[in-house]
Amino acid sequence: MISKVLIANRGEIALRVILACKEMGLKTVAVHSLADRDALHVRYADDDVCIGPAPSKQSYLSISSIIAAAEITGADAIHPGYGFLAENPHFAEIVGECGLTFIGPSPEAIRLMGNKAQAREQAKNAGVPILPGSDGPVQSVEDAQEVARTIGYPVILKASAGGGGRGMRIVGAEADLETAYMTARNEAERAFGVADVYIEKYLERPRHIEIQVFGDTHGRIVALGERDCSVQRRHQKLIEESPSPALTPELRREMSEAAVKLCRAVNYVNAGTIEFLFQDNRFYFMEMNTRIQVEHPVTEEVTGVDLVKEQLRVADGKPLTVPEKSDFLLRGHAMEFRVNAEDPVTFAPSPGKIREFHLPGGPGVRVDTAAYRDYVIPPHYDSLVAKLVIRGKDRMETIARARRALDSFVVEGIKTTIPLHRAILDDPRFVSGDFSTRFMEQFRS
């Protein structure tokens, strides 16, 4: 039985996990870098351990310090959150070897699905549609040229070990392939320590639609609806919503079945996301994320399922408490707006002290944040300040609520993406629901 959970993360997700633990009567341990000693997750947890003087990402990546912190505080489980060590199979393995419970999938599942080229192969073998492309990484420029000629330009090169949009290159014609191949490999090598890249057909105007999946140790795997994450900048998500304005119940069922089939093929346990690209009423597997995602609240709002509590229960060997036929559970509409400490026009990071901080409230408004007035946003970590999650009875009510919530969301002292979100909500294309992942390229605030 899990009784004390160490959260190997920071920011809003660390807080989110602590809240779930509190509701379940579990004790919590926060770990933090010196730069984060005044962070809210440290204040909310029952115990806290400083795991590194380095005011950088390094502290949260220090496996030995995290395990030591668990031992000295008597924690019996570790939740990795997202980012940092969440998709590191080695970490999951060590946690298990130290007699602790890893709150997430098995190291084998993380390893198998974490490599994007390999995950593509798994999807193909499970009968899930994939985009035309290479079988695994391409071995040379010539190899890449041959695949690209066969599938036709444009193509996209992707790092097998990729994530965060790094190591990705779109190539429109053969003349550009060699340079793109070299730069993608270099970028992948620098970012992930592995240079391997693979090729996929590049879709010109797809939507990004992902399915939330969940498996337990009793053989049950469910799909909890989709999230449409087509509002992106540089391939990074800005706004997510559920249900997708583009899906019919029939397509939702097909995508859900495909996602569950893939999870079953790899014996997937705990929370995961199967990402698809969707164009012309067809969907194609893109990748799997073997963790809780930033945008999980969108699903929580339309299904009423607390995904983090389910993660804790499932890690403890208990069955999922999601009712049967979860497809039919979807209620109303939800959207998440990522409020980042960034200039809303140039997207340059804007760390610093928050001088004024007022959160919106009222019906259908949820804010997941670890920020507060006088909090100093350190420059070392990602720039997410808050997630504004809005729920309404339908898409139009959700949009109206989001507008008024953003109008009363006050963050002073730093620049944020609030004005950008507010402008997007007045864009007729966004309001129509008819847009693709290229939406932001066309958008002018």
- Closest to 117 in 3D by CA, of 283, 241, 286, 243: 286
Sign of the Cα torsion 67, 9, 3, 300 reads negative
Contacts of residue 296, defined as CB under 8 A and 6 or more positions apart, other chains included, come to: 212, 271, 307, 308
- Closest CB to ligand ADP among residues 40, 147: 147
291 flagged as catalytic: yes
Query: Does 164 engage in binding with ligand ADP (CB under 6 A)?
Result: yes
Query: Does 235 engage in binding with ligand ADP (CB under 6 A)?
Result: yes
Query: Does 200 engage in binding with ligand ADP (CB under 6 A)?
Result: yes
Q: Which stretch binds ligand ADP (CB under 6 A): 29-37, 197-205, 265-273, 322-330?
A: 197-205
- Closest CB to ligand ADP among residues 29, 195: 195
Size of the site for ligand ADP (CB under 6 A): 21
Q: Which stretch binds ligand ADP (CB under 6 A): 136-144, 195-203, 377-385, 396-404?
A: 195-203
In the chain, the amino acid numbered 261 is K
Do residues 156 and 200 lie in contact, with contact meaning Cβ atoms separated by under 8 Å?
yes
Q: Which of 277, 298, 308, 371 binds ligand ADP (CB under 6 A)?
A: 277
- Closest CB to ligand ADP among residues 287, 295: 287
Query: For residue 342, what is the DSSP state?
Result: B
Beta bridge partners of 198: 158
Contacts of residue 306, defined as CB under 8 A and 6 or more positions apart, other chains included, come to: 20, 23, 300
Termini Cα distance of the chain: 52
Q: Which of 36, 287, 301, 368 binds ligand ADP (CB under 6 A)?
A: 287
Query: Does 437 engage in binding with ligand ADP (CB under 6 A)?
Result: yes
Query: Does 275 engage in binding with ligand ADP (CB under 6 A)?
Result: yes
Q: Which of 65, 160, 232, 340 binds ligand ADP (CB under 6 A)?
A: 232
Q: Which of 11, 104, 137, 162 binds ligand ADP (CB under 6 A)?
A: 162
Greatest extent of the chain over all pairs of C-alpha atoms, in Å: 61
Alpha helices in 84-229 (DSSP H): 89-97, 107-114, 116-125, 141-151, 177-192
Residue in 291, 338, 366, 422 annotated catalytic: 291
3-state secondary structure 277-293: EEECCEEEEEEEECCCC
User: How many Cβ atoms are within 10 Å of 109's Cβ, its own excluded?
Assistant: 22
The two three-digit tokens of residue 400, written as one number:
């109206």
The two three-digit tokens of residue 238, written as one number:
């800005």
Min. distance of Cβ 59 from ligand ADP in angstroms?
A: 24
Q: Which stretch binds ligand ADP (CB under 6 A): 57-65, 190-198, 203-211, 381-389?
A: 203-211
- Closest CB to ligand ADP among residues 240, 310: 240
Indicate the pairing of strand 169-171 with strand 155-159.
Answer: antiparallel
Query: Does 286 engage in binding with ligand ADP (CB under 6 A)?
Result: yes
- Closest CB to ligand ADP among residues 32, 201: 201
> Site residues for ligand ADP, window 125-144 (CB under 6 A)?
131
Strand ranges for 182-329 from DSSP E: 197-201, 207-215, 221-233, 236-242, 270-279, 282-289
> Site residues for ligand ADP, window 292-321 (CB under 6 A)?
none
- Closest CB to ligand ADP among residues 200, 306: 200
Beta bridge partners of 367: 388
Q: Which stretch binds ligand ADP (CB under 6 A): 23-31, 182-190, 194-202, 314-322?
A: 194-202
- Closest CB to ligand ADP among residues 208, 313: 208
Name the residue with tokens 């036709």. Answer: 152
Q: Which stretch binds ligand ADP (CB under 6 A): 162-170, 296-304, 386-394, 402-410?
A: 162-170
Min. distance of Cβ 199 from ligand ADP in angstroms?
A: 9
- Closest to 208 in 3D by CA, of 415, 436, 24: 436
Catalogue the active-site residues: 291
List residues near ligand ADP by CB under 6 A: 131, 156, 158, 162-165, 168, 200-203, 206, 208, 232, 235, 275, 277, 286-287, 437
